[in-house]
Amino acid sequence: MELLQHPEDRGYPAEYLCSRIRGRRSRLIADWKRLIFDVNPSEYLAAGNYGRVIKERSSAGVWRGLAQEYQWVFSQMNEQLRDIFNPFFIYAELRTLFICLRHKKDRKAGGILELLEKSLLSNGVKKVLAESIDVPEALDGLENIFLERSARFAGLKKRYETDGLRSVEQHLTNTFLAVTVRDGLHPLVKKFFQQVIDSRNIMSLYKYLRFDSSGKPFFIEGGCVPLAQLNVILDRKDLVALAALVTGHTGIKVETPDPTQVEVALYKSITRFLKKAGRDPLGIGLFLDYLWKCSIEAMNLSIVLSSRDLEREAVSAELVM
């Protein structure tokens, strides 16, 4: 069973979509400091051309807007482009899948249907999420679907019963990334996923060292940062070496790492890489840069709209700008 929908190929040439994407990319929010410090965010968004991103001027509305934009891009792609970008869209839809499972656990069926309305998940996956009686039954159905990609996805229900839903989410994400980066990806898409893997590995290591977690972090294979280097830092519990690794990996100096500082540096590194790749007016980089920028815009907007009572400097430090 497919993980994503398979709409009709409208036969649009890549050049047509490139032109549309360039126009839409120009309307992404660029002046975040003004949005944070000089104006009321809700008024700014209401007055601007951000209807496609946010209608309700709420954090939940932001993510629904992102799902709708991804749905539009996917529908405009021809079969060749979809084959290239399927891994990206599946990775993005893991968030939808996880939120549905949380709603399933909390008995919020209405929230599941609302989320799935704009989702790119296939009808088969949507049926599992919407109609399963409980989380274990849903995980049984999802495991059968994911096992068609790799045997490494086995054991979702057992993991849930032993360690809870958070463990299932980590296992699904980590396994998807490790399996996907070994597929025959477009070189630029592969480089993107390698950077995502590096970011997740570094954050896992940082959280373990900083907060003295009980369980050692699991490192995903397939990134550019050698696992041996991460394990040396882990064994030595060396936060100074980790800060140096983050600085060397991202080009952003991190002197006294905290979760926000490290995470923002990693996001900025990916953003900078894709911005450079996106300068090719007719290349794959243009699409990947736009899709990533849409996700960063949604993340930033969600922070701004859910942090209205916090100090503006503190909010600014959390944004990827």
Q: Indicate whether 249 belongs to any domain.
A: yes
Please tell me the predicted confidence (pLDDT) of residue 214.
67
Asked if 78 contacts 12 with a C-beta cutoff of 8 angstroms, the reply is yes
Whether 260 shows a pLDDT value over 90: the answer reads no
Q: Indicate whether 253 belongs to any domain.
A: yes
209: domain CATH number is 1.20.1690
Q: Give the total number of structural domains in the chain.
A: 1
Q: Indicate whether 248 belongs to any domain.
A: yes
Q: What values do phi and psi take at 107, rounded to 5?
A: 60, 45
> What is the chain's mean pLDDT, rounded?
90
Q: Indicate whether 221 belongs to any domain.
A: yes
Question: Left if phi > 0, otherwise alpha if psi is -120 to 50, otherwise beta: which for 155?
Answer: left
- pLDDT tens-digit readout, 89-109: 999 999 999 999 999 999 877
Q: What is the mean pLDDT of residues 231-237?
A: 94
Q: What is the mean pLDDT of residues 132-139?
A: 96
d(CA 240, CA 255): 8
Q: Which tokens go with 251?
A: 């080009």
Q: Can you give the residue range of the structural domain that contains 242?
A: 187-277
Q: What is the four-CA torsion angle of 149, 151, 155, 160, rounded to 10 degrees?
A: -30
Asked if 319 contacts 307 with a C-beta cutoff of 8 angstroms, the reply is no
Q: Indicate whether 206 belongs to any domain.
A: yes
Q: Indicate whether 305 belongs to any domain.
A: no
Q: Which tokens go with 117?
A: 């309305």
Query: Measured at the alpha carbon of residue 286, what is the angle toward residues 284 and 289, in degrees to the nearest 5?
Result: 105
Q: For residue 308, what pLDDT band results from cuts at 50, 70 and 90? A: confident
Please tell me the predicted confidence (pLDDT) of residue 56.
56
Listing DSSP states for 41-72 in one string gives HHHHHHHTT-TTT-SS-SHHHHHHHHHHHHHH
Q: For residue 58, what pLDDT band results from cuts at 50, 70 and 90? A: confident
Q: Indicate whether 265 belongs to any domain.
A: yes
Q: Indicate whether 86 belongs to any domain.
A: no
